[in-house]
A = this chain, B = another copy of it.
Amino acid sequence: MNKVLPPPSDEPDQSKGQLSARIRSDIERRILSGEWAPGYRIPIERELMETYGCARMTVNKALVALVASGLIERRRRAGSFVSQPLVQSAVIEISDVRAEVEAVGQVYSIEILSRRQRTSTVADMKRLDIQTPRPVLAVLCRHLAGKRVHAFEDRLIDLVSVPDAAGLTFEKDPPGTWLREHVPWSEAENRISALNADSALSAHLGVKEGAACLQVERSTWRGTKPITAVRMYYPGDTYRLIAHFSPKGS
């Protein structure tokens, strides 16, 4: 069977692209439209293979992709079923601070408030989740969009994991950008919360004392070794994190 048969003619069809992708999007559409409800058993590979006039591996590729995206579940012998969307997986694209500012057409600049190398204090060790003291770099800086303060950053860098960071001034590239470009990481965690600005934070961000601010705490690791821990503060009235998503992130 060397020729590819025309698609089943009962559908308004986008014949472009690879066959496996088309099979995938056909099924995806039926699921998202509700035609195939959660729990519905979708046709077996053999049937789909005959429907589209292709090899089983081609159908299989489409189905494996659907499993990866969480839209279906498969059990041997039992068949493939449309899955119940259990949790909503929202993907937040956390871009570079500089890119974030420039994306809205403003001029980015950074202002280093302090930059100190020290042996980790107890508080530092807690933030980095380490047990023994070690050299760290502590940086406080402000990110400006034009003349307005876009964010205030409070960062710790583990100098054992990232010795090269010791020599940097961060006057051109912000620490986050440099780290992302130079240090490979394998895991990270964001903790997003709201807090009232205390006097220090209100001064840094240029907002009234007590104003609601969005705080994003991020820790990054390479394997089990911590790389950096950062707290980013944004004025609550102007900044928002936007997450766009589909069922289980396809």
User: A194, B180: Cβ atoms under 8 Å?
Assistant: no
Q: Which residues of the other chain, B, contact A234 by a CB distance below 8 angstroms?
A: 194
The answer, yes or no, to whether A43 is at the interface (CB within 8 Å) is: no
CA distance A37 to B68 in the complex (A): 26
* Cα(A94)–Cα(B89), bound, Å: 6
How many copies the complex holds: the figure is 2
Interface string of A195-222 (1 = CB under 8 A from B): 1100000000000001111110000001
Instruction: Tell me which of B96, B190, B215 contacts A90 (CB under 8 A).
Output: B190
Interface flags for A1-45 (1: CB within 8 Å of B; 0: not) read 000000000000000000000000000000111100110000000
Partner among B65, B86, B184, B215 whose Cβ is within 8 Å of the Cβ of A33: B184
* Residue A193 is within 8 A (CB to CB) of chain B in the complex: yes
**Is A164 an interface residue when CB atoms closer than 8 A count as contact?**
no
Stretch at the interface among A112-120, A140-148, A151-159, A242-250: A242-250
